[in-house]
Amino acid sequence: MKTEKIETLHVSVGFTCNNSCFFCMESNKKLRYDTVKKFISSDHMYREMDKHRNVKKIGFGRGEPTLNPDLPKYIAYAKKKGFLEIAVISNGRQYKDKEFCRKLIESGVTEFIVSLHGHTKEIHEVLTRGKDSFLETTQGLKNLSELRHQFKFRIVISHVVTKVNYRFIGNFLKLMRNFTISEILLGVVRPYNCGGMKKFFFALMPKYSEVAKEIDQLFEKNAKLFFSKEDANKKYVIINDIPACSSKKLVELIGIRREWVSGNDIKGEEYADGLPRLKSIKCQKCLYEKMCGGIFESYINHYGWDEFTPVVKK
């Protein structure tokens, strides 16, 4: 289990988004637009970067940052101020324009975190509700993969695992072999008490045990899918937001601690995690108790404790 700390200044630069994902915690898009519009300005962005210069990584995200025309100049300023790692967290649709990708790289991006939630147009777009989003994002990944031959940067895939797509994780990992991916984050959807997750909980939220079983079986049948195409000895798939006790075989792939410095990130019910987690008395016996944050309360309220068994020494 990975427990490294990645301290990152997370700044919001996206007023809006060209997808409308069912599971997105930012369900109130008008509230988001009105709130972000109040404080996103060049002066404010520069002040935030100046204030957090002790942090070595910065991530531009929330909404869809690539729709903000000022993004390249914010990236260039971050590079000028000495941030060693500069990430853009995006749905990747704008990367269909190869010259736009090049402009961001030349401005200073060192990591593209791209969201893709299905191995087919049908699965991805039923979740994103964005027409042509699958074609545009996969074209963007092709462009970025080609540019990696000229520039040094990382491509990280963020794949939200839901009840709609968890049975196709193997197909998704096979699709990723077509690109030069640095890392794949398989994050089980979080049970937010808002938006689509509140309304369609049972349609979107898989049981952790079901996801774990799918991954365990896949690893047994085709382990190479979990290893980098560029380095066959390097595991490049990380599984987030699933308890260690769900997948005893793959515990070394589960979890990575990312500590965010909020910057101008939105606070409040709609935009902060703020999700209470629970532990049972049995959890005290688990080998991973200290590094486990517990199970989301809303998950337990819907599915109960039956599937969880503490990992103990034999």
Among 30-44, 52-66, 205-219, 261-275, the least confident range: 261-275
* 273 has a pLDDT exceeding 60: no
The 10s digit of each residue's pLDDT in 211-265 is 999 999 999 999 999 988 888 888 899 888 888 888 766 666 765 544 445 454 4
Q: Which domains does the chain have, with CATH numbers?
A: 5-275 (3.20.20.70)
Confidence of residue 5 (pLDDT cuts 50, 70, 90): low
pTM exceeds 0.85 for this model: yes
Residues 6+ apart with CB under 8 A from 13: 40, 45, 60, 61, 62, 63, 65, 68, 70, 71, 74
* 281 has a pLDDT exceeding 50: yes
What is the DSSP-derived secondary structure letter of residue 93?
G
The 10s digit of each residue's pLDDT in 112-163 is 999 999 999 999 999 999 999 999 999 999 999 999 999 999 999 999 999 9
The 10s digit of each residue's pLDDT in 166-210 is 999 999 999 999 999 999 999 999 998 777 888 899 999 999 999
Measured CA to CA in angstroms, residue 36 lies from 87, 169, 245 at distances of: 20, 35, 39
41-43-47-53 Cα dihedral, nearest 10 degrees:
90
Three-class DSSP labels, 32-66? HHHHHHHHCCHHHHHHHHHHCCCCCEEEEECCCHH
